[in-house]
Amino acid sequence: MTNSPLFARTLLIGLGAGTLALGLVPALPSPIAPAPLAAQSGGEIDAVVGALRSISTMRADFTQTDRQGNVMSGVMTLKRPGKIRFDYGKDSDFLVISNGKSLYVVDYEVSQVERWPIKNSPLGALFDPERDVKRYGKLVPTGNKDVISVEVRDPKKPEFGMINLIFVRNASAPGGWQLTHWVALDAQNHRTRVQLTNQRYGVAVADSTFTFRDPRRSSRRPG
């Protein structure tokens, strides 16, 4: 049986790097040198940056697969700046959520909440709407003009791992490019893939979406 809370935590690297470009978290304490211009096409990188920064709200179904082939799914909701929720469904005992200030893994089965201030979490080094993918990433050739692959890593913070973001040309997506999935490797080389489907943009998202019932204060199951 999958260790669900642990499986949720493996999302954090994928979440952190995957939403780098979505611009959700405070600035890095020090700048990172851009990837060499020879290694990337400025036009494609700019297209990706523009597309992601055009997203104000988004809801999508996600499927998360770990290196052992365990699969879980749910709904991802985000709202700029700083808010994101990975909901594994009503029957799940846990969720991953950020209210724009802190990131939480909430485990209702054992009435536990793990909290990281965003600036001290893997997210804190990655999400910032005032920076762009050029600062952290380089293009990986795909051989397909309709697919862009961007590898993102912070060479000064290898503990944050690496992520590969995949975008597909889609005229109906903001900026004409849609983030379809990302593959993350953490510092221990553990691989996590997060696939997004049924993306909906500009949807109404209440701020209450990014709140949760604290299980340490109640024995009731999440509603």
pLDDT tens figures, 161-176: 777 889 999 999 989 9
Residue range(s) defining the domain that contains residue 31: 4-207
pLDDT tens figures, 45-87: 888 878 877 888 999 999 989 888 888 899 999 888 778 899 9
Local confidence band at 134 (pLDDT 50, 70, 90 cut-offs): low
Identify the weakest region by mean pLDDT among 33-47, 84-98, 126-140.
33-47
Residue 39, pLDDT score? 40
Residue 7, pLDDT score? 55
Residue 176 lies in a domain: yes
Given a contact cutoff of 8 angstroms between Cβ atoms, the answer to whether 161 and 149 are in contact is no
Residue 183 lies in a domain: yes
User: Which residue type is seen at 130?
Assistant: E
Check which CATH number belongs to the domain holding 27 and give it: 2.50.20.10
Residue 163 lies in a domain: yes
Residue 219 lies in a domain: no
Structural tokens at position 191: 């691989």
The residues facing 200 across adjacent strands are 59
Is the predicted pLDDT of residue 95 greater than 80, yes or no?
Answer: yes
Residue 28 lies in a domain: yes
SS3 call for 205? coil
Local confidence band at 142 (pLDDT 50, 70, 90 cut-offs): very high
Given a contact cutoff of 8 angstroms between Cβ atoms, the answer to whether 19 and 123 are in contact is yes
Is the predicted pLDDT of residue 145 greater than 90, yes or no?
Answer: yes
Residue 213 lies in a domain: no
Whether the bond into 141 is cis, omega within 30 of 0: no
Residue 214 lies in a domain: no
State the pTM of this model. Answer: 0.76
Residue 205, pLDDT score? 96
Local confidence band at 209 (pLDDT 50, 70, 90 cut-offs): very high
Number of domains, the chain: 1
Residue 218 lies in a domain: no
Is the predicted pLDDT of residue 17 greater than 50, yes or no?
Answer: no
Structural tokens at position 50: 């523009």
Is the predicted pLDDT of residue 40 greater than 90, yes or no?
Answer: no
Mean pLDDT of 117-139: 56
Local confidence band at 26 (pLDDT 50, 70, 90 cut-offs): very low
For residue 185, which of 160, 166, 162 has the smallest C-alpha distance? 162
